[in-house]
Amino acid sequence: MSLPSTTSLTETLYAADAVRAIDRYIIDKKGVLGFELMQRAASAAFRHLVKQWPDVQRVLVFCGGGNNGGDGYLVAANAKRHGLSVQCVAMSAPEKLKGDAEAAYQKALADGVVVTRWERHAEQARAEFFSAFPVIVDAMLGTGVTGEPRQPVSQAIEACNQSGCPVLAIDMPSGLDATSGSAPGVVIRADITVTFIALKAGLYTAQGPEFCGSIQFEPLVDELAGGGHGQAAMAVKFDWASLRSMLPRRLVTAHKGRFGRLLVVAGDRGFGGAGLMVAEAAARTGAGTVTLATRPEHVSPALARCPSLMVHGVTHGSELGSLIEAADVIVCGPGLGKAAWGQQMLQLVSASGKPLVLDADALNLMSFRVAMKADNHVLTPHPGEAARLLGLTVPEIEADRLAAARHIQRQFGGTVLLKGAGTIVDSGDALPGVLGGSNPGMATGGMGDVLSGVLGGLLVQGLELSLAARLAAALHLAAADRAVMSKGYMGLLPTDVIDTLPTILGEAEGIITRAIANGVLT
């Protein structure tokens, strides 16, 4: 089973320059006037504003000097016509506006919108000024701006964030890079972001999930649904809902031999829990059998926790050969350590030729070696491990996560799953995938071990590398999101996620069964 293909605007992610080119295509080739597009964007943004805050009576709109600011002026005009009290704060001299942005400014004035300059408010008591407006609209910086916001915009962003007022961002939160999701300076912290024309990759990865809030997409023109704009996408957005129908099917006559034999090689002294969590997560994801090769002192605790596992104490590589030979897929790395034991285990696993999931210390050990490309593995680095693999710093990785994942894939081959908010999966032969969603409760030790186990459990059931990696990332997040509902973010444990996996998988199996019965799936 392979990845589903998609050209849907709701799933494809673009760089900022590609979105601007699509915008130009709509105007030049589809005959939609730029001002008409601006009016549609403003109407959509205002519709989301009143839906999000139905009782709002007063709105404060910050407008920049470009077309994003023009959208803001027209949002203000919409608000005024609907009886709201609205004020615009101009971040640049209105007399310097040009084209559609100038027309939008004149429209706002004609509708009775009050426009003042930021300089008038910058030094006054900000708490008093902001307290009069329960909702802020951010229309300061659009997709064409890169780098750290300069004064006076940076000062206004800080003031908005400190005000405590909820914020609706137009197209992108000001200060966020639309392509990479990096935040080189201050960024508006939005509660909702209404984005237009096409989805920007920066909304979904790096710092995007931190600042965008709820993302609402408005394509504005129906003509784009069939493509034709000539712009290449950067990535494809995926989530559990879009992929769960790709889970391996189970016949009534199924037996454990049909769902593979997984070997987990993990857990040097002091790290016995890592291998156990990998193995248990794999078992909970449906692997036929799971064998754990670990230090002898971890055998009894592992069997006490999960007696369905086959656990072998291994002190030397000579004891690993028969276990490798019997396995269909191997997961190696969590708690492996960088000492002689871990090095020997990794060397034997790497030479096996079996499909591999390499994580944690396996990646750290690989960073010390000359890169050897292979097509039979999935590498699952977090940003720190990715930095070591590429000889970079973590900030350099986070500045462009899509590029970092691609560089690792080109250097080491196979499929790369770069963990973090907006997890990226890149197999080199298709558009990379970006997981839509994040969960701060997962910021705790051992969550990556669970992900490796889920991935191994899916791979051993016969899925190809890239699909298994995307499904694993999406399932892992879906289980964490469900566990948070009862456990909360603080104190969420990896074992809470493991315990929730059967619930999420059981719901998916029910959905698949109903879809087959209704003829939707075959």
Give the position of tokens 């942005």: 101
- CA 28, 32, 38, 40 dihedral sign is negative
Q: Are strands 85-90 and 114-117 parallel, antiparallel or unpaired?
A: parallel
3-state SS, 193-207, equals EEEECCEEHHHCCCC
> What does residue 478 show for φ and ψ, rounded to 5 degrees?
-60, -40
* 8 A C-beta contact, residue 274 and residue 334: yes
Tens digit of pLDDT at every position of the chain (522 positions): 556 555 577 899 999 999 999 999 999 988 999 999 999 999 999 999 999 999 999 999 999 999 999 999 999 999 999 999 999 999 999 999 999 999 999 999 999 999 999 987 766 556 678 888 999 999 999 998 889 999 999 999 999 999 999 999 999 999 999 999 999 999 999 999 999 999 999 999 999 999 999 999 999 998 665 566 889 999 999 999 999 999 998 889 999 999 999 999 999 999 999 999 999 999 999 999 999 999 999 999 999 999 999 999 999 999 999 999 999 999 999 999 999 999 999 999 999 999 999 999 999 999 998 778 999 999 999 999 999 999 999 999 999 999 999 999 999 999 999 999 999 999 999 999 999 999 999 999 999 999 999 999 999 999 999 999 999 999 999 999 999 999 999 999 999 999 999 999 999 988 767 766 676 665
Q: What ranges make up the beta strands (E) of 206-333?
A: 214-218, 235-238, 261-265, 289-294, 310-313, 329-332
| Edge-to-edge strand list for the sheet holding 424-426 | 199-200, 12-14, 235-238, 433-435, 424-426, 415-418, 377-379, 356-358, 329-332, 261-265, 289-294, 310-313
Type of residue numbered 277: M
Q: Of 335, 311, 334, nearest to 323 (Cα)?
A: 311
In whole angstroms, what is the distance from residue 281 CA to residue 359 CA? 15
In whole angstroms, what is the distance from residue 479 CA to residue 496 CA? 9
What number of CA atoms fall less than 13 Å from residue 186's CA on the CB side? 16
How large is the angle between the packed helices 67-81 and 34-52, nearest 10 degrees? 60
**What residues are paired with 209 via a beta bridge?**
none
In whole angstroms, what is the distance from residue 325 CA to residue 331 CA? 14
The total number of residues written for the chain in this structure = 522
Residue 315: DSSP 8-state: S
Q: Of 497, 397, 486, 482, nearest to 443 (Cα)?
A: 497
In whole angstroms, what is the distance from residue 491 CA to residue 44 CA? 39
Tokens of 352: 């096996």
In whole angstroms, what is the distance from residue 14 CA to residue 425 CA? 16
Angstrom CA distances, 421 to 142, 172, 427, stand at 22, 17, 19
Q: Alpha helices, DSSP H only, in 208-339?
A: 208-211, 240-243, 272-284, 299-305, 321-326
* 8 A C-beta contact, residue 237 and residue 215: no
* 8 A C-beta contact, residue 108 and residue 115: yes
Decide: helix, strand or coil at residue 142. Answer: coil
Type of residue numbered 140: M
